[in-house]
Structure 1
C-alpha cells in the first residue's frame, strides 16, 4: 500500500542516485509494487540507450528543461506531459540541458 502523508515540503526528501546521470526524490511509494511518485532530475548531456518498455502505467510531467525522444525525433519542454500504458515503447532519450520531471507510476 502506498505511503500516506499529509502535505510536507518535497525539498525535505533527499536526492538519491537512481541510475547513471539520474537522481530522484521519491515522494510516495508502495513497497510491494512498482507504484511510486517521484521527482527525477536528469543531468545535462544524459543519453539513454534503447527503447524502454515497462509493466506499469507511467505519467510524466516536465517541470524544467528539455528532453528529446530520439525515436520520434521530437524535443519536449517544461509543461509537456506523457501518459504511457504498460508495454508502450518510448525513448531512447537525450537531454542537452538536463531536465526535472514529476513521474507517477501505477502498477497494473
Structure 2
C-alpha cells in the first residue's frame, strides 16, 4: 500500500531539507519522494531542476514502466520531443517512451507518478 500523509506542503521552505540531491548533478537536480509503495515500488515524487540546468550528461531516458508527469513550475525543454513544457503540461508516458535530455528555464518542479509494478518486463 502506498504511504499516506495528511495535508502538508512539500514546497514550503520549512521542508527544503527533505529534498535529496540526485547523484551526478552537483546539486542542480533534486528529488523528494512524497509517497511510496515499498511492496510494489510505485511512487510519487517531485523533481526540481535549478534554472539553466541541462541533463545532457545523463542522456535521454526511458523506463520499462508507465509514468505520469505534470509541470508544476518553470519551463522545461524536452530534447526528445523538441518542445517546451510549461506549467500545467501533463504527459502519461507508456513503457519505453524516450524523454529528455532536459534544459530548465527558471527553477522547475515536476510531479512524477511512476508505476514500476506495471513494468512491461513483468507482463
After TM superposition, the score normalised by the length of structure 1 is 0.84
SS at match of 2:62: coil
- Aligned CA distance change for structure 1 residues 60 and 80 (closer, same or farther; 3 Å): same
Moved over 6 A (4+): none
**Residues in 2 aligned to 1:55 and 1:2: alpha-carbon distance in whole angstroms:** 20
Q: For residues 28-82 of structure 1, what are the alpha-carbon distances to aligned partners after superposition, in whole Å with 9 as ceiling and x for unaligned?
A: 1123444111111111111113221112211111011000112322111101111
- Aligned CA distance change for structure 1 residues 61 and 4 (closer, same or farther; 3 Å): same
Does structure 1 conserve the Cα–Cα contact (< 8 Å) formed by 2:80 and 2:98? no
Does structure 2 conserve the Cα–Cα contact (< 8 Å) formed by 1:45 and 1:96? yes
Gaps of 5+ in 2: 119-123
> How many residue pairs align between the two structures?
108
Q: Which one has a larger percent strand, Structure 1 or Structure 2?
A: 1
After TM superposition, the score normalised by the length of structure 2 is 0.75
